[in-house]
Amino acid sequence: VSYYLIFVNGGAIQLTSSNIDSILSSYDIVFVNFYANWCRFSQMLDPIYNEL
């Protein structure tokens, strides 16, 4: 399972155990995409997230 944080003003970064606390505390609102390669719904939404 992967998860990415997408900023309104720019690209996405991968959250890791070493950066998640500092990233989440830096913003009032965050959008996190949880993704798993085997998940049908993740596969369906992947093209939409890639447009952001």
Q: What is the pLDDT of residues 5-35, one digit of tens each?
A: 555 555 677 788 898 898 888 878 777 777 8
What is the SS3 assignment for 9? coil
**pTM reported for the whole predicted model:** 0.47
Q: Residues 45, 33, 10, CA angle at the centre, nearest 5°?
A: 100
pLDDT digits (tens, 9 = 90+) for 33-52: 778 889 999 889 888 877 76
- Cβ distance 33 to 6 under 8 Å? yes
- Share of the chain residues as helix, strand and coil, in percent rounded to the nearest 5: 35, 25, 40
DSSP 10: S
